[in-house]
């Protein structure tokens, strides 16, 4: 049975952020996420935990072991909510040379790639290399965080233009998933039928964002064709990694099937780390677990039915 996460609240003055943690949660990824959301330098951030059972003592959370012990301690005392106080080292935060990024150890884990203007164009990047007139390869900080350069180029081109055709509505929905994950935006279905699909940017009403797509059948055929495609965002949420919510169990299963053929023993927590490393996607453990179950069922059939057949 999958380990249920605990709710963790990290407070900094009057601000606070919530996060879900388990014993498998990486300390570096957790700290980087907190620093990013609280908008403070990574190196200047420190975190102190106080136990509900021993309120007079404070525990510094500085590494993986501290993180795991904190979660286990709360489970042992039956506490489902963790409270952490964040502190800022003023001297470090004022240092001009202190980057707002994790240490080299986790940066190496994220494996950023170096890109030039040509590869940026191939990945759908809208950056103009005005800061690099020599044309030499440079690494962009947003690519380090989101790993957009690690995402396959064809994800960016899953949706191209009006007239593009798909064999079925299911194929179009999958293309929408790939495209939104690559471009990092979220969408909502206005119509989601076998022969008609209409989708809008999630922030159409809130910010009057014009992005939309409409597809219907090709005349005298069962295929679907994009009839209208407004590929423009004005909501300000484009590129904020909101599209990760579209990483469904079915999508995860699709990605895992070829991986399970060569690494059948891979654990859900390892898959979770690989999605973050390779695609910059932070996906809930439960989604990964169910996605792996679905992928295994596709490859090997229903596990319970297989066990039932052992008697024969």
Is residue 270 domain-resident?
Answer: yes
Is residue 117 domain-resident?
Answer: no
- Are 224 and 216 a contacting pair, CB within 8 Å? yes
DSSP-based helix, strand, coil % in the chain, nearest 5: 40, 20, 40
Q: What is the SS3 assignment for 77-111?
A: CCCCEEEEEEEECHHHHHCCCCCCCCCHHHHHHHC
Structural domains counted in the chain: 3
One domain, residues 238 and 254: no
**What is the structure's pLDDT at 2?**
62
Whole-prediction pTM value?
Answer: 0.47
Is residue 288 domain-resident?
Answer: yes
One domain, residues 178 and 259: no
One domain, residues 233 and 182: yes
**What is the structure's pLDDT at 298?**
81
Give pLDDT tens digits for 247-261: 778 888 888 888 888
**What is the structure's pLDDT at 211?**
93
One domain, residues 86 and 10: yes
* Closest to 29 measured CA to CA, from 87, 89, 93, 102: 102
Give pLDDT tens digits for 6-64: 999 999 988 899 988 888 888 877 888 888 888 887 778 889 998 877 878 888 888 87
**What is the structure's pLDDT at 155?**
83
Categorize the per-residue pLDDT at 237 as very low, low, confident or very high, splitting at 50, 70 and 90.
low
d(CA 210, CA 204): 7
**What is the structure's pLDDT at 135?**
34
One domain, residues 265 and 232: no
One domain, residues 228 and 180: yes
- Are 172 and 166 a contacting pair, CB within 8 Å? yes
- Output Rg (C-alpha) for the chain, integer angstroms: 23
One domain, residues 13 and 76: yes
Categorize the per-residue pLDDT at 111 as very low, low, confident or very high, splitting at 50, 70 and 90.
very low
With a cut of 80, say whether residue 238 has pLDDT above it: no
Q: What average pLDDT does the structure give for the chain?
A: 75
One domain, residues 208 and 268: no
One domain, residues 58 and 25: yes
Q: Quick count: other Cβ atoms within 10 Å of Cβ 265?
A: 6
**What is the structure's pLDDT at 303?**
62
**What is the structure's pLDDT at 170?**
87
**What is the structure's pLDDT at 216?**
93
Among the candidates 188, 221, 243, a domain finishes at 243
User: Which CATH number fits the domain that encloses residue 83?
Assistant: 3.10.20.90
**What is the structure's pLDDT at 305?**
63
User: How far is CA 127 from each of CA 82, 131, 145, 209, 295, rounded to the nearest angstrom?
Assistant: 41, 10, 16, 21, 37
Is residue 294 domain-resident?
Answer: yes
One domain, residues 271 and 238: no
Is residue 102 domain-resident?
Answer: no
Is residue 146 domain-resident?
Answer: no
One domain, residues 231 and 281: no
Among the candidates 243, 266, 295, a domain finishes at 243
**What is the structure's pLDDT at 240?**
52
Residue 270: give the domain boundaries.
250-307
Mean pLDDT of 63-73: 86
Give pLDDT tens digits for 72-99: 888 888 888 999 999 887 654 444 444 4
**What is the structure's pLDDT at 8?**
93
Q: Could you tell me which residue, 111 or 176, shows the higher pLDDT?
A: 176
Give pLDDT tens digits for 257-273: 888 888 888 888 888 88
Q: Ranked by mean pLDDT, which of 91-105, 134-148, 245-259 comes out on top?
A: 245-259
Structure tokens at 17: 């952020």
**What is the structure's pLDDT at 248?**
77
d(CA 309, CA 99): 59
Is residue 129 domain-resident?
Answer: no
Contacts 24+ apart (CB under 8 A), 14-20: 20/284
Is residue 213 domain-resident?
Answer: yes
The 3-state DSSP class for residue 207 equals helix
Categorize the per-residue pLDDT at 180 as very low, low, confident or very high, splitting at 50, 70 and 90.
confident
Q: Ranked by mean pLDDT, which of 32-46, 201-215, 294-308 comes out on top?
A: 201-215
Categorize the per-residue pLDDT at 200 as very low, low, confident or very high, splitting at 50, 70 and 90.
very high
Least confident of 67-71, 97-101, 136-140, 163-167: 136-140
Among the candidates 243, 272, 298, a domain finishes at 243
The 3-state DSSP class for residue 225 equals strand
One domain, residues 84 and 24: yes
**What is the structure's pLDDT at 231?**
92
* Closest to 235 measured CA to CA, from 190, 178, 187, 283: 187
């Amino acid at each position: 049975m999958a380990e249920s996460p605990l709710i963790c609240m990290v407070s900094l003055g009057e601000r606070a952020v919530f996060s879900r943690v388990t014993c498998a949660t990486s300390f570096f990824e957790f700290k980087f996420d907190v620093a990013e959301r609280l908008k403070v330098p990574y190196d200047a951030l420190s975190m102190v935990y106080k136990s509900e059972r021993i309120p007079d003592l404070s525990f510094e959370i500085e590494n993986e072991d501290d993180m795991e012990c904190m979660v286990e301690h709360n489970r042992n005392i039956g506490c489902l909510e963790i409270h952490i106080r964040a502190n800022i080292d003023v001297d470090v935060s004022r240092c001009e040379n202190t980057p707002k990024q994790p240490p080299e150890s986790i940066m190496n884990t994220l494996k950023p790639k170096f890109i030039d203007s040509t590869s940026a164009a191939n990945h759908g990047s809208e950056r103009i290399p005005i800061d690099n007139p020599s044309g030499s390869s440079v690494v962009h900080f947003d690519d380090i965080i989101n790993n957009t350069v690690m995402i396959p180029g064809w994800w960016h081109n899953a949706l191209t233009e009006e007239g593009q055709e798909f064999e079925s509505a299911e194929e179009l929905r999958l293309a929408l998933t790939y495209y939104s994950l690559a471009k990092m935006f979220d969408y909502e279905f206005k119509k989601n039928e076998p022969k008609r699909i209409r989708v809008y940017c999630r922030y159409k009403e809130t910010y009057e964002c014009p992005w939309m797509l409409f597809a219907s059948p090709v005349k005298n055929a069962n295929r679907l064709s994009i009839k209208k495609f407004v590929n423009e965002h004005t909501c300000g949420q484009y590129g904020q990694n909101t599209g990760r919510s579209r990483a469904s169990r079915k999508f995860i299963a699709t990605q895992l099937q070829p991986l399970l053929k060569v690494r059948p023993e891979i654990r859900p927590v390892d898959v979770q780390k690989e999605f973050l490393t390779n695609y910059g996607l932070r996906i809930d453990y439960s989604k990964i677990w169910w996605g792996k179950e679905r992928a295994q069922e596709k490859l090997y059939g229903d596990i319970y039915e297989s066990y039932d057949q052992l008697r024969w």
